[in-house]
Chain A
Amino acid sequence: MSKEAHLKRKLILLLVFGLFVTACGGTAATTTAPATATTAGEAPATTAGGGTETTAAGAGGMEDLIAAAQAEGTLTTIALPRDWCNYGGVIDTFTEKYGLAYNGLAPDAGSADELEAIRANQGSTGPQAPDVVDIGLGFAEPAKEEGLLQPYMVSTWDSIPEDAKDPEGFWYGDYYGVLAFEVNADVVENVPQDWADLLNPEYNGAIALAGDPRVSAQAIAAVTAAGLANGGSLDDVEPGLEFFAQLAEAGNLVPVIAESGTVASGETPITIRWTYNALANRDANADIANIEVVVPASGRYAGVYVQGISAYAPQPNAAKLWMEFLYSDEGQNLWLDGYCHPIRYEDLVANNAVPQEKLDRLPDVEGAVFPTLEQIEAASEAITTQWDSVVGVNVGG
């Protein structure tokens, strides 16, 4: 070929060399994953903690599990924001207790993206492959059916309520919260106490959902909950849609996504979020705004999230140890610190494993209803398809 091609080739080689040097020298500053992490990824197949062991007992007991996990060295998670259910505290305690490094991917990822990450990373041992996922209940069965999860039953398996786990151990509920109003009391004088209050004209332009009802589980739950308070049920979400249509028409509902920041700044002074998110925000922004969290008097809707271990987890033992920790009394209590009701709540209370002051910090969620998988799917279907036509906020232009 021509000289130009030769020069190009030389330049490219130079560049590749330069990139290579960067690659070798560029070990992450924050994830201190030891070099053995990648080789240890293949090891579990031969140790007791391999993919076929579904209980800690089967894996040779907790001690062996800890050893195997430490040999792997790192845990990679996805979609775990530090301020969600006090995951920050959970992570810190876990890493300190067992000496593992922690690699947290995409804290804001949605459940669909979490599963896509598992799918795309099949066979990968790199730091971008997640070991565990925390997904919405509606994704649990599809994930299992697609073979994205591997089964594992923690030692406290029996104290997890039956309807919150997969009998074969592929997925298991982790915590729940109830939908509440998060209100910036500096901006809003009369804090609404129930769904009907929201229609009050004094809240004109003040209410925003914490997500797009066509994609966000939290927003869909809000619609269903509104329906519960207006004559609907978990199987019939029409009243919920109509309620929001009324809100939109009255101008109370604005087409903006509310976030912790927008509530605290007063841009969207009223929103509807899970109790744990609302309460965490209240604490985090206490020096900026006076935020009140009110669980509505009627229409109390509880939402469950679900844990699972990736079928292709590069560090399966670390993943299992993580699960053991999450479902231990200690882990469950840490979630409680984040205002989440851990799934073993009843069991913990029965055994007096929860300090009284923690119990007192929790809002009263008496009478909250838990939808089943089928009800969630049906509600999602109805709301995502009908939102535009029934509520259809006018966007102009």
Chain B
Amino acid sequence: MTVTAAPTAIETPAAVVTPAKAGTGSKVMAWLILLAGIAYFLTPLIATGERAFRAIGGTFSFEAFRRVVSDPEFLRTFGESAINAVLTIFVSLLVIVPTAYWVTLRVPKLRSVIEFITLLPFVIPAVVLVFGLIRMYSRPPLAILSTYGSTRVMLICAYAALSFPYMYRSVDNGLRAINVRTLTEAAQSLGAKWPTIIRRVIFPNLRVALLSGALLTFAIVIGELTIALYMGQHTFGPYMSNLVRNFVAEPAALTVLSFAMTWAAMGIISFLARRQPSSKPKKAV
């Protein structure tokens, strides 16, 4: 890749900033953008929080929160969904990363086909997908949906499929940012075989991309509703929707709590991902 960096007018700015720092102009803009973003995102959450604290009895109270937290189902379903999410992330990574790598390196012509397939989850209605899955796997010879556990495995695989758009795009962006071809050639010239290449060259350089994909996948699984509902799975989504139907304050409290807990979970995943001693996200091997 050659860098086309030909400024049209050569200016020598009065203060040539050192490469590592952003100029003050940039900083101001960055702060403005950040503040605008914060305003946009926090306002609805604050409004929800206000409802949660106020709704019962009209005065400030933790009652709604207490009611939600004292329900044992709240933590249990969240836990079940969290485990589902982690397993889904693994399955998704396992399928997508080698595929994206292969497409970039060996069969770029099939890229649009693969991208089309990965974007299909957006246009297939969830009810159609869940009933399709039930239909396919309820009858011999593929009758595997006979227990809660086996249905749960099916659920995880379905969720992995749902995560494809996000996972693929993140990994693809990551692969574009590193020079896959050169890295692979260099590794091969050093005598590395494919498994080593993927494990020790590609994965470490994709850490940021994999983290993005993992976070997005986690979010999807935690809140997913329709598929879990018709598969009779007792996960967080159905639990939330059941509560939201009927009450005023509890849903608001539930929203705030689930937001906070999911954020915490994201923080944990993010922390674990960055903790690897061998990781240096921006440096290629």
A contact residues vs B (CB 8 Å cutoff): 2-4, 6-8, 11-12, 15, 18-20, 22-31, 33, 38, 76, 81, 83, 103, 105-109, 113, 116-117, 119-129, 259-261, 264-265, 281, 284-285, 287-289
Having A23-B152, A127-B147, one finds 18 other A-B pairs with CB under 8 Å, namely: A4-B194, A18-B87, A22-B83, A23-B153, A25-B149, A26-B152, A28-B234, A30-B73, A38-B146, A83-B245, A106-B229, A116-B131, A121-B134, A127-B151, A128-B134, A259-B245, A261-B244, A289-B248
- CB contacts (< 8 Å) of B138 on chain A: these are 120-124, 126, 129
Q: How far is the CA of A8 from the CA of B96 in the complex (A)?
A: 12
Least CB distance, A106 to chain B, in whole angstroms? 4
Least CB distance, A311 to chain B, in whole angstroms? 14
Tell me if B's interface is mostly helix, strand, loop or mixed. Answer: helix
Q: How far is the CA of A284 from the CA of B234 in the complex (A)?
A: 24
CB pair A38–B147 under 8 Å, yes or no, is: yes
B contact residues vs A (CB 8 Å cutoff): 51, 55-57, 73, 76, 80, 83, 87, 90-91, 94, 98, 127, 131-132, 134-135, 138-140, 143, 145-153, 156, 193-195, 198, 229-232, 234, 238, 241-242, 244-249, 251
- CB contacts (< 8 Å) of A83 on chain B: these are 245-246
Least CB distance, B143 to chain A, in whole angstroms? 7
CB pair B148–A284 under 8 Å, yes or no, is: no
- CB contacts (< 8 Å) of A31 on chain B: these are 148, 232, 234
**Closest chain B residue to A28 by CB distance?**
B148
Asked whether A113 and B127 contact (CB < 8 A) given A124-B134, A125-B146, A261-B245, the answer is yes
Asked whether A288 and B249 contact (CB < 8 A) given A27-B148, A122-B138, the answer is yes
Counted as pairs of residues, one from A and one from B, with CB atoms less than 8 Å apart, the total is 151
CB pair B94–A11 under 8 Å, yes or no, is: yes
Least CB distance, A83 to chain B, in whole angstroms? 6
Q: How far is the CA of A119 from the CA of B135 in the complex (A)?
A: 8
- CB contacts (< 8 Å) of B149 on chain A: these are 22-27
CB pair B247–A261 under 8 Å, yes or no, is: yes
Residue among A11, A20, A126 with max Cβ neighbours from chain B (10 Å) = A126
From the candidates B134, B148, B247, name the one contacting A285 in the complex (CB within 8 A): B247
Q: How far is the CA of A122 from the CA of B57 in the complex (A)?
A: 49
- CB contacts (< 8 Å) of A38 on chain B: these are 146-147
CB pair A15–B246 under 8 Å, yes or no, is: no
Asked whether A120 and B150 contact (CB < 8 A) given A8-B98, A29-B76, A281-B246, the answer is no
Residue among B80, B147, B234, B249 with max Cβ neighbours from chain A (10 Å) = B147
Least CB distance, B193 to chain A, in whole angstroms? 5
Q: How far is the CA of A113 from the CA of B247 in the complex (A)?
A: 24
Least CB distance, B27 to chain A, in whole angstroms? 37
Q: How far is the CA of A119 from the CA of B229 in the complex (A)?
A: 16
**Closest chain A residue to B229 by CB distance?**
A106
From the candidates B91, B145, B229, name the one contacting A126 in the complex (CB within 8 A): B145
- CB contacts (< 8 Å) of B87 on chain A: these are 18-19, 22
Q: How far is the CA of A281 from the CA of B248 in the complex (A)?
A: 11
Complex A-B: 16 CB contacts under 8 Å: A2-B194, A7-B194, A23-B149, A29-B80, A108-B241, A116-B127, A117-B230, A126-B148, A126-B151, A126-B232, A127-B151, A128-B134, A128-B151, A261-B248, A284-B247, A288-B249
**Closest chain A residue to B243 by CB distance?**
A261
CB pair A15–B91 under 8 Å, yes or no, is: yes
Least CB distance, B194 to chain A, in whole angstroms? 3
- CB contacts (< 8 Å) of A106 on chain B: these are 229-230, 238
Asked whether A103 and B94 contact (CB < 8 A) given A123-B139, A284-B246, the answer is no
Least CB distance, B248 to chain A, in whole angstroms? 5
